Amino acid sequence: MSKLFLKGNEAVAEAAVRGGCRFFAGYPITPQNEIPEYLSKRLPEVGGAFVQGESELASINMVIGASYIGTRAMTSSSGPGLSLMSEGLSTMAATPFPAVILNVMRGGPGTGAIQGAQMDYLQATKAPGHGGFRLLAYAPSTIQEAVDLVYLAFDKAWEYKAPTLVLMDGCIGSLMEPVELPPMKEVQREEYPLYTSPHLNPGNPKRRCSATMITNERDHEDWNRVQAARYATIEKNELRVEEYMMDDAEYVIVAYGTSARVAKSTIRQLRDKGIKVGLIRPITVWPFPYESLRKLDETKVKGILCLELSIPALMVEDVDRGVQGRIPIATYGRAAGIVFSSEEVEEQMMLHIEQDWK
């Protein structure tokens, strides 16, 4: 198949359509605007519907409606918009309603910076909303991977009947790279069973009834257990990680998304100088690849750098949960849309290698 030279945001929008997306609602926010712009024209061509929501609150609830009726649906946004969607995400994780949620991350906190950054790690992995729930979350580091993961995210959302997050960063959304697009999938509306139906209308369980409020405590608690079991299955089956040049590594960088791209350049630079560095790159940030860190041999690995486009460091606690204090961990980040160069990261590595990791 031939490759096309595409901008990240447009490439993932087309990947969504090919993955069966037939409904999109979203509200403009930089740096993801090309996604709704592209889909506003593209979805009607394939018999789908596009709605520019009046807000992210409305948009996520429109996606809930489309998903309830069985349509493969998606929304995209960036940090502040994801915060507004959090009540909806909590509902979707619970009900559950399958859909793909794209967060093209920008600098935070608050309204923040419109340029790309990686500051929504904790939101994505720990608390995308209230009420305690988990989202399968992919973090692509190239446009090709973003395309493949968005396409996959639709299948996974529908396999688990749960919302699935793709945590891109603004850099990947705005880059242009050659990509191969996946084939067009023809999918029909599919009215999957809803857990709440027999509880809301016991006389007629064939009705599709959905609510996140089940008045019987035991039914509600059972339902919490059903959700917990789903999270456990996803944790067991859906972990993805890339281990790059790890076989003989004496130093390790842990990074995802754009940071991981920079880290790879740094690693090649350092290896040219005879310094053995490897990369652990979470492809899913939830579930997190703790095992890749747990299995590190502390008699060989002398130090770990947790590298993110974020100040403060956000992923470091997960890194340490895998390392369990056996190996020193340093952090380095830039923020507000400033991306570190591979030389800058090399300098950081050398500082630690020559001083505290001796």
Partner 1 sequence: MEKIYKRPEAMQKRPTGYCPGCLHGVANKIICGLIDEFGIVDNTVAVQPIGCGALMCWTTDTDQIISLHGRAPATATGIKRSAPEKFVLVYQGDGDLASIGLAEIMHCANRGENLTVVFVNNSIFGMTGGQMAPTTLMGQKATTAKDGRTPLQGYPMHMCEIINQLTAPVYIERCALDSPAHVLAAEKAIRKGFKNQLENKGFSFIELLSNCPTNWGMSPVKSLEFMRNETMKEFPLGVFRDRSEEV
Place of tokens 């959090």: 86
> How far apart are CB 166 and partner 1 at their closest, in Å?
20
> How far apart are CB 165 and partner 1 at their closest, in Å?
19
Phi, psi (deg, nearest 5) at residue 267:
-60, -40
Instruction: Select the span of 18-26, 108-116, 138-146, 317-325 touching partner 1 (CB under 8 A).
Output: 18-26
Return the number of the residue (52 or 142) whose C-beta is nearest partner 1: 52
Q: Are 177 and 12 in contact (CB under 8 A)?
A: no
Contact flag: residue 147 with partner 1 (CB under 8 A): no
Instruction: Please state, in angstroms and rounded to a whole number, the distance separating the CA atoms of residues 160 and 155.
Output: 9
Among 12, 16, 22, 36, binds partner 1 (CB under 8 A): 22
> How far apart are CB 69 and partner 1 at their closest, in Å?
5
Return the number of the residue (204 or 341) whose C-beta is nearest partner 1: 204
- How many residues interact with partner 1 (rule CB under 8 A)? 38
Burial class for 345, CB neighbours closer than 10 Å (0-12, 13-18, 19+): buried
Q: What angle do the packed helices 143-160 and 8-18 form, to 10 degrees?
A: 30
> In this structure, what token pair is assigned to residue 149?
């993961």
Return the number of the residue (71 or 123) whose C-beta is nearest partner 1: 71
Q: Which of the 8 DSSP states describes residue 185?
A: P
> How far apart are CB 209 and partner 1 at their closest, in Å?
5
> In this structure, what token pair is assigned to residue 157?
């959302």
Up-side HSE of residue 158: CA atoms within 13 Å toward CB?
A: 20
Q: Helix (H, G, I), strand (E, B), or coil: what is residue 243?
A: strand
| CA neighbor of 282 nearest in space, from 257, 252, 307 | 257
Beta 73-77 vs 4-7: how paired, if at all?
A: unpaired
Return the number of the residue (89 or 147) whose C-beta is nearest partner 1: 89
Instruction: Select the span of 48-56, 170-178, 242-250, 263-271 touching partner 1 (CB under 8 A).
Output: 48-56
Residues in the chain: 358
What lies within 8 Å, CB to CB, of 134 at 6+ separation is: 93, 231, 234, 235, 286
Return the number of the residue (67 or 227) whose C-beta is nearest partner 1: 67
User: Contact letters (x/-) for partner 1, 207-246, by CB under 8 A?
Assistant: xxxxxxx---------------------------------
User: Contact letters (x/-) for partner 1, 183-212, by CB under 8 A?
Assistant: ------x----------xx-xx--xxxxxx
> How far apart are CB 221 and partner 1 at their closest, in Å?
19
Return the number of the residue (1 or 213) whose C-beta is nearest partner 1: 213
Q: Are 189 and 47 in contact (CB under 8 A)?
A: no
Return the number of the residue (55 or 324) whose C-beta is nearest partner 1: 55
Burial class for 150, CB neighbours closer than 10 Å (0-12, 13-18, 19+): buried
> How far apart are CB 78 and partner 1 at their closest, in Å?
20
Strand partners, 258: none
User: Contact letters (x/-) for partner 1, 90-129, by CB under 8 A?
Assistant: -x--------------------------------------
> How far apart are CB 52 and partner 1 at their closest, in Å?
9
User: Contact letters (x/-) for partner 1, 55-94, by CB under 8 A?
Assistant: x-xxx-xxxxxxxxxxx-x-------------xx--x---
One-letter amino acid of 79 = G
Positions touching partner 1 (CB under 8 A) are 22-23, 25, 49, 51, 53-55, 57-59, 61-71, 73, 87-88, 91, 189, 200-201, 203-204, 207-213
